[in-house]
A = this chain, B = another copy of it.
């Protein structure tokens, strides 16, 4: 597996990227390429000797910043000779010298660069952002979670196609079950968008489960949950916030008396496991 990591993505780049890359190269049997400004990345790499043999650097002098948007962003993303770290990295996917690209940078930048340089699956008009949400017994791919706040029924159908392919190829699930997020399980429930999407999914040849609510999603009844980017974003952020509130409340409750403090200490392995599952750092990235 050949992975390209954008060295210029995070707010404090490139130090965290370099550190993460070195650790990943040591821990996993992968070929890792950092892509970014050599003048800034090389000195950091030189502080670590010896460098893992499976880690290399590809120079990309330009960067998409968190402030880039609109036409400026589109040009950086689209220009044939663009030398941003995202463009250089994604071109490696395009020409087959890498298998995956990872960035902590500007989401719109990644979306736009991927759209112009990698294109989209035939028939898909808009790329979507997805999240792998921990559910009972595994994960559910939820999409769109923010790229497209206003959608048409055919977009949701396309998200279902992309989600199904993603669940098959990346999660190894045969014939993934696709759910349509709605305000009720029965066919006929939903807002206008959902009610018009339902028959498209029914006729799609996909493994369509029907409308789902939170309980089917988090109960692990489907592998892919399809929704517009507004609702999906609200769903993801609210779920994270509920989980955080619960864990905080539980911690405060447990610290309330000596008895519960002792109990919490004894039960620590269980809490650690829960914390690991809930940690957005473990699953917070959004496949595109």
Contact = CB atoms under 8 A, between A and B. Distances in A.
B266 A253 contact: no
Given A243-B246, A267-B260, A237 B213 contact: yes
B267 A254 contact: yes
Given A136-B245, A215-B241, A267-B264, A230 B191 contact: yes
Contact of A239 (B149, B239, B253, B274): B239
B245 A242 contact: no
A270 B249 CA distance: 9
Q: State the copy count for this chain.
A: 2
A234 B237 contact: no
Interface residues of A, number: 61
A242 B267 contact: no
Given A244-B218, A266-B260, A235 B233 contact: no
Contacts of A256: 269-270
A287 B217 CA distance: 26
B245 A218 contact: yes
A256 B268 CA distance: 12
Contact of A234 (B235, B260, B262): B235
A233 B191 CA distance: 11
A192 interface: yes
A228 interface: yes
A150 interface: yes
A229 interface: yes
Contacts of A244: 215, 218
Nearest to A264: B267
B218 A241 contact: yes
Interface in A28-73: none
A243 B267 CA distance: 19
Interface of A: 135-136, 146, 149-150, 181-184, 190-192, 194, 213-215, 217-219, 227-231, 233-235, 237-250, 253-254, 256-257, 259-260, 262-271, 273-274, 277-278
